[in-house]
Structure 1
Amino acid sequence: MPVLLYIHGFNSSERSHKANVLVEAVAKMGLPQAVISPRLSWQPAKAIQQLEALIEANLSEGVTLIGSSLGGFYAGYLAEKYQLNAILVNPAVQAPSLLTHHLGHQENPYTQEVYELTPAHMAELDALVVEPTPERYWLMIQEGDEVLDYRAALAAFPHVARLTQEPNGDHRFVDFERFIPEILRFAQITTD
């Protein structure tokens, strides 16, 4: 069975709202293995290693990525490396420059993990910058995103296969759950 791999954002966790909505939806359908939502390392290179292992373990069944914020940045890199389709939800397309504003002491509010974000981690992010193949992507953005400028995502991912652009909203993507049926079809988990 194809799987949908959810990639959470910076200082988030595998139990974010969007992850929970997806996990609950497939559980209600009797397909609990259809969504994989791992807790990722805060270190970019280690997070990518974790995701690559999950992708490689499920490639034969089919993998679609869905990434939110920093997870959207990771999804872009992985989609190109493995030639996968990906859904990018308010992606942090300029992650290497954006996260330089967060260098230093960090505490993840979801996991309480405390760590130090350094310039070496920005170099790890720089290594993940890729040129996107537009037909792989469904870009989901809300113009009211208070964290990221939605125009950067539009510029980075022009001519995507599918675009959902909504006025207002926020970084969490308001009413994300209304897209669950379409997301599961995009990931070929359901066909109806």
Structure 2
Amino acid sequence: MPHIIYVHGFNSSEFSYKSQLVKRRLEALGQPEQFSCPRLPWQPLKAIALLEQKIEQLLSLNESVALVGSSLGGFYSAYLSAKYDLKAVLVNPAVEAPSLLRDYLGTQINPYTQEQYELAEEHMLELESLDLPACDANNLWLMLQQEDEVLNYRAALERFPTVARLICEPGGDHSFVGFDRFIDQILHFVGFQDDF
């Protein structure tokens, strides 16, 4: 069974709501060691380096790895899925991150960690350097809600016109309302064989 790395979004942390739902489900199944959600640096290339180190460590132990990424974490997960040929569930992914995050240039405070930092143009260039995913469509599950107040869901449909599985619901919001409905299906998609 795979090790699931939950990749949190912009100004989030390992304590994000969706990550905790996945973590608790794996704990309930007696598989807590199959989950991790590292706290990511706010600098894109540092975040990717940390995730690559984690993935490569797991692969070196002959563990399979799968990703669940939300928002900016979905953007990162697409890059990593393409690089390492991993299953990835992209939840309202910020596929236009290099342009979207320009609206946030300047001082930021992470509401989870209280870390204060300066988001600058150089960080947008880092995002652009990661914006080249040629993912295997069979590895991707795209989860979108059409009333996402942060992102235009159509951008993700255009970026990933063919995926193994697509959920595109009317309503909802950027958090993906009712994410818990899909956790067991996500586990099956990434390779858990148990009957839940």
Report the TM range for the smaller structure's normalisation.
over 0.9
Residue pair 1:34, 1:189 contacting (<8 A) in 2 also = no
Q: Deviations over 1:68-124 (max 9, x none)?
A: 000000001000111111100000000000001111100001110000001111111
Q: Offset at 1:132? A: 3.0
Moved more, 17-26 or 53-62: 53-62
Q: Secondary structure at the residue paired with 2:167?
A: strand
Q: Secondary structure at the residue paired with 2:93?
A: coil
Moved more, 145-154 or 128-137: 128-137
Corresponding residue for residue 94 of structure 1 = 96
Q: Secondary structure at the residue paired with 2:176?
A: coil
TM-score (norm 1): 0.97
Once residues 191 and 31 of structure 1 are traced to their aligned partners in structure 2, the CA distance between those partners, rounded to angstroms, is 11
Q: 2:116 aligns with which of 111, 114, 125?
A: 114
Once residues 2 and 95 of structure 2 are traced to their aligned partners in structure 1, the CA distance between those partners, rounded to angstroms, is 26
Corresponding residue for residue 188 of structure 1 = 191
Once residues 150 and 164 of structure 1 are traced to their aligned partners in structure 2, the CA distance between those partners, rounded to angstroms, is 11
Q: Offset at 1:58? A: 1.2
Q: 1:179 aligns with which of 158, 182, 196?
A: 182
Q: Structure 1 unaligned segments of length 5 or more: list them.
A: none
Q: Taking every aligned residue pair, what percent have the same amino acid on both sides?
A: 56
Once residues 127 and 82 of structure 1 are traced to their aligned partners in structure 2, the CA distance between those partners, rounded to angstroms, is 17
Corresponding residue for residue 19 of structure 2 = 19
Corresponding residue for residue 74 of structure 2 = 72
Once residues 74 and 92 of structure 2 are traced to their aligned partners in structure 1, the CA distance between those partners, rounded to angstroms, is 7
Match of 2:38, as an amino acid? P
Q: Aligned runs of 1:43-192 on 2, under 5 Å?
A: 43-59=43-59, 60-130=62-132, 131-192=134-195
Once residues 193 and 12 of structure 2 are traced to their aligned partners in structure 1, the CA distance between those partners, rounded to angstroms, is 28
Once residues 169 and 135 of structure 2 are traced to their aligned partners in structure 1, the CA distance between those partners, rounded to angstroms, is 22
Q: Offset at 1:61? A: 1.0
Residue pair 1:88, 1:138 contacting (<8 A) in 2 also = yes
Q: Offset at 1:43? A: 0.5
Match of 1:123, as an amino acid? L
Aligned length in residues: 192
Q: Structure 2 unaligned segments of length 5 or more: list them.
A: none
Corresponding residue for residue 33 of structure 1 = 33
Match of 2:44, as an amino acid? P
Q: Deviations over 1:25-78 (max 9, x none)?
A: 011111101111111000001000110011011122100111000000000100
Residue pair 1:90, 1:140 contacting (<8 A) in 2 also = yes
TM-score (norm 2): 0.95
Q: Name segments (4+ residues, structure 1) moved above 4 Å.
A: none
